[in-house]
Structure 1
Amino acid sequence: MKSKSVKYGAVMALMVAVAALSGCQTQPTTYQTTYASRVCQSCGVVQQVQQIYIQQQGTNNSGIGTVIGAVAGGLLGSTIGHGRGNTAAIVGGAVVGGVVGNKVGQANSQPAGTVPAWQIIVRLDNGQYATVTQVPNPGVRPGDYVVISNNLVYPR
Structure 2
Amino acid sequence: LTASMVDGGLPVSVSFPLHAGWEFLVLIPDFTLSTPLARSVLPEQVNRRDAIYNISHGALVLKALELGDEKLLRTAMQDRLHQDYRKKLIPDYEKIEALVRTVGAAFCLSGAGPTLLCITRNPGLEEKLAKKLDSITEHHWQMLPLHVEFEGAHVLKAE
User: Given the two structures, how large is their TM-score scaled by the length of structure 1?
Assistant: 0.15
More strand by share: 1
The TM-score normalised by the length of structure 2 is 0.15
Higher RCO structure, 1 or 2 (CA under 8 Å, sep 6+): 2
Higher helix content, 1 or 2 = 1
